[in-house]
Structure 1
Amino acid sequence: MKELFRKIQPHSGKILASFLLIFFIFLVYNLYQAPVVGIEEKFVYLLKKYGYIILFIWSMLEGEAGLVMAGLLSHAGDMNLYIAIFVAGLGGFAGDQVYFYIGRFNKSYVHKKFRGQRRKFAFAHLLLKKHGWPIIFVQRYMYGMRTIIPISIGLTRYSARMFAFINLLSAWCWAALTIVPVWYFGDEILVVLEWAKEHWYLAISIALVLGGSIVYYFNKATKKVEKGSKNENQFD
């Protein structure tokens, strides 16, 4: 079994891509075959029937939208809150493990594919060197670094077992911190979503402004931290 695992690890990226493609085809087929009328009703039917499977895959891609969906379905009684947190955490854990092993066993591919991201990889190494394991725990909340950090840690000699342990705890905390508030404030969120559906033109404008502001803030904050880390590194 260990020998098989070692053979699979170098191809983890290709396996993930193939798996996601098969899953996407599966969703499209079931969406088409759903025994209800209307695209919205078909999506709701699909979420209720395959909710945990969709949540797991969505969490592998670390999409908070999937966790929000799980929170709303848990609020409506179509999902169990605790199982949703457990499944979402496992999905987030699995996704980062794949990224980690891409870095660990595909170094030449990483250096070639992410050539334009060299500054981010250098920044990730500085963060790991300066802060250690807490970086693994908080990287899910760092915009623009959520894929880079697991891959960059895989490029180092960092313990795979320690990474997996911290990654699992981090993933479950990430899932709980997102799903529980949505579950608790489900009624209020549903009211907002209904308003957004009726006033989609205003909702899109607000979403663009808020989304742009968040992206700008995190980009600025990341560059500030990166600059500070480089300055401190010069005096080491």
Structure 2
Amino acid sequence: MANGGRRLSIEALIARYGLAAVFLGAGVEGETMVLAGGLFAHEGMLSLPGTMIAAAVGSFMADQALFAAGRRFRGHRWVVRAQAKPAFAKALQTLERYPTGFIFAFRFLYGLRTVSPVAIGTSHVPFRTFVAINAVAAVTWSVLFTSLGYVFGTGIAELFGRYRPHGRQWLWVVLAATVLGLAFGGFRWWRRRRIR
């Protein structure tokens, strides 16, 4: 029942506030809000490219703010309290081993989504490096989860036979798949170069 109420409240927020809810929800709520935004785009209530952009910008800005807070307030009690948590230590250990890969992937890792940008902010990662990788990761994350909401939002049955995208929205799904494929291919290429 609680999950149903939560889903309804997210749907109500998007129905009322549209892309602004997706923008804010991408930074605060995360995947659930972006998936719901993709569903609303499928229903024709939101623009698919607008939903992708709102989610990417919302996620990017939230993580930039958390990174800046970690960098600016390293000695503050709430950052010190966060540093005592196991997730914070795990984030720093993973960052040390795979700096670029971790910055790209932390938003996809359960339990590390919120603490990671703060942890990275307390590290020696340059601001410009974080901005660049965070931007690419935010776009990839947004395109992935918006597309999942768009394609799977009305059920598997529609995917296997009755799925009919609205107008030019199909082009955006193809573009999304292309972006994800290029991002994945680029990441694998980068990993192979690092190993050599």
TM-score, normalised via structure 2 length = 0.69
5+ residue gaps, structure 2: 1-6, 159-196
Letter in 2 for 1:154: G
Aligned residue in 2 for 1:33: none
5+ residue gaps, structure 1: 1-39, 192-236
Q: Does 2:73 match 1:73? A: no
Cα shift at 1:141:
1.5
Aligned length: 151
Larger-gyration structure (1/2): 1
Q: How big is each residue's C-alpha offset from its partner over 1:75-119, in whole Å with a ceiling of 9 and x where there is no partner?
A: 1101111110011010000111111011100011244332541x3
Q: How big is each residue's C-alpha offset from its partner over 1:31-75, in whole Å with a ceiling of 9 and x where there is no partner?
A: xxxxxxxxx999867533421111111011152111121011101
Pick closer, same or farther for the CA change 1:162–1:182 going to 2, 3 Å. same
**Aligned alpha-carbon RMSD (Å):** 2.5
Q: Select which of 68, 86, 92 maps to 1:125.
A: 92
Aligned residue in 2 for 1:158: 125
Please tell me whether the aligned partners of residues 90 and 171 of structure 1 are also in contact (alpha carbons under 8 angstroms).
Answer: yes
Q: How big is each residue's C-alpha offset from its partner over 1:202-224, in whole Å with a ceiling of 9 and x where there is no partner?
A: xxxxxxxxxxxxxxxxxxxxxxx
Q: What CA distance in whole angstroms lies between the structure 1 residues aligned with 2:11 and 2:91?
A: 39
Please tell me whether the aligned partners of residues 103 and 133 of structure 2 are also in contact (alpha carbons under 8 angstroms).
Answer: yes
Pick closer, same or farther for the CA change 1:50–1:125 going to 2, 3 Å. same
Q: What CA distance in whole angstroms lies between the structure 2 residues aligned with 1:124 and 1:170?
A: 17
Aligned residue in 1 for 2:152: 185
Aligned residue in 1 for 2:81: 113
Q: What CA distance in whole angstroms lies between the structure 2 residues aligned with 1:77 and 1:71?
A: 10
Q: Does 2:141 match 1:174? A: yes
| Bigger helix share | 1
Q: What CA distance in whole angstroms lies between the structure 1 residues aligned with 2:93 and 2:11?
A: 44
Pick closer, same or farther for the CA change 1:169–1:43 going to 2, 3 Å. closer
Pick closer, same or farther for the CA change 1:99–1:42 going to 2, 3 Å. closer
Listed as ranges, the matches of 1:36-51 within 5 Å are: 47-51=14-18
Q: Select which of 112, 123, 142 maps to 2:109.
A: 142
Cα shift at 1:184:
1.7
Letter in 2 for 1:113: R
Please tell me whether the aligned partners of residues 60 and 138 of structure 2 are also in contact (alpha carbons under 8 angstroms).
Answer: yes
Identity of aligned residues (%): 29
Letter in 1 for 2:82: F
Q: What CA distance in whole angstroms lies between the structure 1 residues aligned with 2:115 and 2:70?
A: 9
Q: Select which of 26, 43, 55 maps to 1:88.
A: 55
Cα shift at 1:128:
1.3
Letter in 1 for 2:101: P
Please tell me whether the aligned partners of residues 70 and 79 of structure 2 are also in contact (alpha carbons under 8 angstroms).
Answer: no
